[in-house]
Amino acid sequence: RKGDILAQLTQTLTTSATDLGVDVVLVTPDRALFSAAQHYRRERYHWALDEAAMKDAMRLGRLAIQGHLALFLGAGVSIGAGLPGWSDLLARLAERSNVAVPDSTRFPALDQAQLLEKMIPNLGEQVSAIIAETSTPSLA
């Protein structure tokens, strides 16, 4: 059944991307499913890219293989995967670092983050650690 679902999903994503003129990223939970998706895509779909687009695609592929790409999605998309929302993230960062959470009634969200950045020297590492705790893919 996984193969049938993957085939339908790949076909739907490809058709939608073509019809809407957008790029689509399919995220898989493991290497086996990723390999199956790549095989299915290569067997059934071929896109004609001009030289400049092919050069960009090759560069992005190299960066992806090296682990140098990151997804940035809108607010709320990550919550379905079990990642914390903004206020929960701030609270968890403050708790991990033994600092007080900036008062949300006095400071907007971005100001709260800037205050935490000043109070937590390794903020990026702390955020990465919290994000790494979750490995559940989300349909979003």
pLDDT of 78: 76
Q: What residues does each domain of the chain span?
A: 2-47, 77-132
pLDDT of 140: 66
pTM of the model: 0.47
Instruction: Examine the pLDDT at 61 and tell me if it is beyond 90.
Output: no
Cα–Cα distance for residue pair 70/46, rounded to 1 Å: 25
Contact criterion met (CB below 8 Å) for 82 and 131 = no
Over residues 84-135, the pLDDT tens digits come to 888 888 888 888 888 887 776 787 878 888 888 888 888 889 998 988 888 7
pLDDT of 55: 93
Over residues 32-49, the pLDDT tens digits come to 888 888 888 888 877 677
pLDDT of 63: 92
Percent with pLDDT over 70 in the chain = 94
Phi/psi for 66 (5° steps) reads -80, -5
Q: Name the average pLDDT for the chain.
A: 83
Which residues, other chains included, contact 1 with Cβ-Cβ below 8 Å and sequence gap of 6+? none
